[in-house]
Amino acid sequence: MIVVNTETVPGYEMLEMKGIVQGNTVRAKHAGRDIAAGFKNLVGGELKGYTELLTESRREAVERMIAQARELGANAVVNVRFSTSAVTAGAAELYAYGTAVILNKID
């Protein structure tokens, strides 16, 4: 499955658009990560616990988006975007979306 954030893929022609596909996940903060983040806020630096949480969330959302594209018979997802939003005080959604298409390699 080709997944890109551009509208086209060099070397390929678009044969058919299958439609919009999406994947999302909602994750809650972990109390241990919050405590560590609080200490890190005092001295500055990367909040590695949250970085790992967001990385896992992005991966899961993309996997779900790709699964939906496969169900439609697509072999690529173009124009992929990510969005985040707060669901409650302790949880956030990560949302991935794009357009499922069928591409053909140009000889």
Angle between the N-to-C axes of helices 31-43 and 48-71, in degrees from 0 to 180, rounded to the nearest 10 = 130
Residue range 2-7: average pLDDT? 97
**pTM to 2 decimal places:** 0.83
For 51-75, what is each residue's pLDDT tens digit?
A: 888 889 999 999 999 999 999 999 9
Show the domains of the chain with their CATH numbers.
Answer: 2-105 (3.30.110.70)
In this structure, what are the phi and psi dihedrals at residue 3, rounded to the nearest 5 degrees? -130, 115
Nearest C-alpha neighbor of 65 from the set 21, 5, 10: 21
Torsion angle (degrees, nearest 10) of CA 5, 1, 12, 24: -30
